[in-house]
């Protein structure tokens, strides 16, 4: 496995010489039918979504994290999309660079620290929107969590959206992509594109450049599988006018309103709102603890959100599943496979976002190698 992974890294480096977002050579890749005659995406069982890559092992949203996830069997690689000062789309989770790069040690950027309002809260730090792509590429990424492996810190840089797409397209089988339109209000306030274009326009233009289009399960979609996600309902509605690719509305915890419409959790999970938003999305992506609220780190009674969503033919892709004991409720007895079992077979969700792609792939191979299992909803494990 390691030798295969290192070989993939070498191939990727060669691709990136001509595949940068800033390089016109990247357009040549959009003409290639790179998924022709590859092993197709599996669609008969719940999807394994590599949350920011295999970031339980390797720093998030890096080429190495995505390559590891592909080697480990993921169905989709997931990323967050932000923008640089000069309008390039990048793969990065936070609007600030503080938590997962070496920006604080870079003396040449000491004067770039700013305070901006983000989703109604003043934040201070080094923001992606104050750096050019070239400057962002000079930074090195580090592991977000101190309890995870630190040996890869400083080895990888920030990816462009184009580079992320090329990783999926040049995999040895069909691998889907699952990008998130991140903080669109903030990005549109601070980054301006020519011709009055918005963040959402540039996002969809990039997808179309590489041939990502088509309704869920269409021939186009199966060739280049894609889910678009956002916490901003207005962004999803806006892009519905320029692409028919499947979209999911992300749902935060119960105390957090939507970032663009200021609606409460209870408003956007009501039957009326779900019936409205299903005109634009094919599913929802809730934080898992809103589906089954915990009490003292034990699972409480499950809500009816999954059942109500399924009654409207909406998929449910909860986030985020992590193997560490600190993230596993006591009911699962320190066993991530027991957690997968409960959510996939008992609650019956349609996909999982996970930081540990390899373990979820093993579970799926052991339990559903050829066909879907019956989905039920019972009480939590004892």
Q: What is the pTM of this model?
A: 0.91
Instruction: Give the bridge partners for 77, in sequence order.
Output: 50, 177
Rg of the chain over all Cα atoms, to the nearest angstrom: 20
Task: Say if residues 239 and 203 touch (Cβ distance below 8 Å).
Answer: yes
Cα torsion angle, 24, 28, 34, 36, sign? positive
| pLDDT at 282 (0 to 100) | 98
| pLDDT at 161 (0 to 100) | 98
Q: Label residue 343 left, alpha or beta by phi (over 0 means left) and psi (-120 to 50 means alpha).
A: alpha
Task: Please state, in angstroms and as integers, the Cα–Cα distance from residue 301 to each residue in 129, 188, 255, following that order.
Answer: 42, 40, 19
Task: Say if residues 229 and 184 touch (Cβ distance below 8 Å).
Answer: no
Q: What is the pLDDT along the chain (382 residues), one digit of tens a residue?
A: 443 444 444 344 434 433 444 443 344 444 456 667 899 999 999 999 999 999 999 999 999 999 999 999 999 999 999 999 999 999 999 999 999 999 999 999 999 999 999 999 999 999 999 999 999 999 999 999 999 999 999 999 999 999 999 999 999 999 999 999 999 999 999 999 999 999 999 999 999 999 999 999 999 999 999 999 999 999 999 999 999 999 999 999 999 999 899 999 999 999 999 999 999 999 999 999 999 999 999 999 999 999 999 999 999 999 999 999 999 999 999 999 999 999 999 999 999 999 999 999 999 999 999 865 444 444 566 5
Task: Say if residues 56 and 323 touch (Cβ distance below 8 Å).
Answer: yes
Question: Which DSSP symbol is given to 63?
Answer: H
| pLDDT at 302 (0 to 100) | 96
| pLDDT at 13 (0 to 100) | 45
| pLDDT at 57 (0 to 100) | 98
| pLDDT at 376 (0 to 100) | 47
Burial bucket for residue 4 (CB in 10 Å: 0-12, 13-18, 19+): exposed
| pLDDT at 37 (0 to 100) | 87
Distance in angstroms (rounded) separating the CA atoms of residues 136 and 240: 31
Give residues with Cβ within 8 angstroms of 84, minimum separation 6.
90, 128, 129, 131, 132, 133, 136, 191
Task: Say if residues 77 and 53 touch (Cβ distance below 8 Å).
Answer: yes
Q: Which two tokens stand for residue 297?
A: 């780190």
| pLDDT at 202 (0 to 100) | 98
Q: Which two tokens stand for residue 335?
A: 């066993």
All domains in the chain, ordered by first residue:
47-94+157-367 (3.20.20.190)
The C-alpha torsion from 289 through 356 and 325 to 332, rounded to 10°, is: 60
pLDDT 10s digits, 261-297: 999 999 999 999 999 999 999 999 999 999 999 999 9
Distance in angstroms (rounded) separating the CA atoms of residues 270 and 303: 12
Q: How many CB atoms lie within 10 A of CB 78?
A: 29
Instruction: Give the bridge partners for 228, in sequence order.
Output: 247
Task: Say if residues 239 and 247 touch (Cβ distance below 8 Å).
Answer: yes
pLDDT 10s digits, 48-100: 999 999 999 999 999 999 999 999 999 999 999 999 999 999 999 999 999 99
| pLDDT at 370 (0 to 100) | 82
């Amino acid at each position: 496995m390691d030798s295969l992974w290192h070989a993939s890294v070498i191939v990727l480096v060669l691709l990136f010489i001509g595949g940068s977002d800033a390089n016109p050579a990247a357009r040549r890749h959009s003409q290639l039918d790179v998924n022709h005659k590859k092993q197709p995406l599996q669609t008969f069982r719940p999807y394994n979504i590599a949350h920011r890559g295999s970031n339980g092992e390797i720093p998030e949203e890096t080429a190495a994290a995505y390559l590891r996830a592909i080697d480990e069997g993921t169905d989709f690689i997931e990323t967050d999309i932000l923008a640089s000062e000069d309008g390039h789309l990048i793969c990065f989770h936070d609007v600030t660079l503080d938590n997962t790069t070496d920006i604080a040690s870079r003396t040449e950027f000491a004067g770039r620290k700013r305070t901006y309002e983000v989703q109604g809260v003043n934040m201070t730090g080094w923001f992606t929107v104050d750096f050019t792509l070239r400057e962002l590429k000079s930074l090195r990424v580090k592991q977000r969590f101190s309890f995870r492996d630190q040996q890869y810190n400083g080895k990888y840089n920030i990816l462009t959206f184009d580079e992320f797409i090329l990783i999926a397209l040049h995999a040895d089988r069909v691998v889907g992509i699952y990008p998130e339109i991140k903080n669109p209000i903030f990005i549109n306030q601070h980054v301006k594109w020519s011709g009055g274009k918005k963040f959402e326009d540039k996002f969809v233009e990039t997808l179309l450049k590489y041939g990502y289009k088509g309704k869920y399960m269409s021939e186009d979609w199966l060739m280049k599988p894609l889910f678009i996600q956002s916490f901003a309902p207005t962004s999803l509605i806006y892009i519905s006018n320029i692409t028919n690719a499947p979209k999911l509305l992300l749902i935060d915890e119960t105390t957090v309103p939507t970032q663009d419409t200021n609606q409460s959790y209870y408003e956007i999970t009501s039957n009326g709102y779900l019936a409205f938003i299903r005109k634009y999305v094919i599913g929802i992506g809730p934080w898992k603890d809103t589906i089954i609220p915990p009490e003292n780190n034990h699972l409480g009674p499950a809500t009816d959100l999954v059942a109500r969503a399924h009654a409207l033919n909406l998929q449910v892709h909860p986030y985020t599943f992590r193997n560490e004991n600190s993230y596993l409720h006591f009911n699962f007895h320190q066993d991530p496979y027991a957690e997968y079992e409960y959510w996939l077979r008992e609650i019956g969700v349609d996909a999982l976002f996970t930081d540990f792609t390899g373990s979820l792939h093993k579970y799926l191979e052991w339990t559903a190698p050829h066909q879907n299992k019956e989905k039920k909803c019972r009480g939590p494990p004892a």
